[in-house]
Structure 1
Amino acid sequence: MSLQFNCIEMPIKTEKDVWEAMKRNDQLAEKLGFPPTVQIMLRLALEEAAVNSLEYGRGSSHEPVHLSWNVDNHTIRISLKQKGSRFCIGKKEEVNVSSCGRGLQLILNIMDKVWLDEKEGYVIFHMQKSCH
């Protein structure tokens, strides 16, 4: 099935919003034809990115995290825009056994492409996955 649109947007203010975003993400991934095992990984990547944005990205700002999806044929790009500045997104070879700090490494290993943009006091975290 071919599916294409420029953007669906959703503000993320609370963990309840994260759950709603994960449901929408599941629907998009299914429509794009991602196998169930990849759908659950996309759900995990979105959850990690959104929760990290809420916990670490907003700081004292009460502005929501701006979540958007862009779909082009069999590729989904998920973007989270928040107040802040660039941070390091490099893959690490060592295994993190602590109780936190694994989210970004999970995302980097699940998604095909991950990158950051900075614009006017905002950082935009992009994750992209193609259905092969």
Structure 2
Amino acid sequence: MTIATTDDIVQGMNRTKQLARERGFSENIVMKLQLVTEEASTNAYEYCAKHGLDSHIVIWNITNSTFELIVRQKGSVFPIVQENDLKSGMRGRGLKLIVSLMDQVEVREQGEFIELYMKKEKENGV
């Protein structure tokens, strides 16, 4: 899904909810996945706007036991926040939040694109 506006971010969150519910993820996990979708997409949207890029892409890969979310944009590799690197200002805590809510988070370089890969496993089969 191409994200070019803030309305697209909301549509992405709704798509995440729909896909997670269809695969039987618990409402607690669905809420976390929506929050992660919003945060990762907002970060990418703001980066793209700042650097004159039109949009970024959100990709979902879902099985009955895992939910993978990929946010792809043009840009350069950035570090994953460490546990003790919590920022105290108004901004900068989003990636830390994503890391705390997901089971796996990686930054991957794919040619001219950077992907934020996020994975969540079902808890106890739910």
TM-score (norm 2): 0.89
Aligned length: 123
Q: Is 1:28 matched with 2:19? A: yes
> Which residue of structure 2 aligns with residue 5 of structure 1?
none
The alignment partner of 2:91 has SS state of coil
Alignment of structure 1 residues 55-66 onto 2, 5 Å: 55-57=46-48, 59-66=50-57
Q: Is 1:113 matched with 2:99? A: no
Contact 2:23–2:63 (CA under 8 A) maintained in structure 1: no
Q: Is 1:38 matched with 2:38? A: no
| Of 87, 91, 112, the match for 2:78 | 87
Q: Is 1:74 matched with 2:70? A: no
Gaps of 5+ in 2: none
1:60-106 CA-to-partner distances (Å, cap 9, x unmatched) read 33331011101122211100110101001132225433211110000
CA gap of 1:94–1:118, structure 2 versus 1, over 3 A, is closer
> Which residue of structure 2 aligns with residue 129 of structure 1?
120
- Give the superposition deviation at 1:58: 5.3
**How far, CA to CA, are the matches of 1:97 and 1:61 in structure 2?**
28
**How far, CA to CA, are the matches of 2:90 and 2:36 in structure 1?**
17
**Percent identity between the two aligned chains:** 33
- Say which is worse superposed, 81-90 or 54-63, in terms of deviation: 54-63
- Give the superposition deviation at 1:59: 3.7
Q: Is 1:14 matched with 2:5? A: yes
Gaps of 5+ in 1: 1-9
TM-score (norm 1): 0.85
**How far, CA to CA, are the matches of 1:128 and 1:97 in structure 2?**
27
**How far, CA to CA, are the matches of 1:57 and 1:102 in structure 2?**
19
CA RMSD of aligned residues (A): 1.5
1:13-43 CA-to-partner distances (Å, cap 9, x unmatched) read 0110000000010011112222212211111
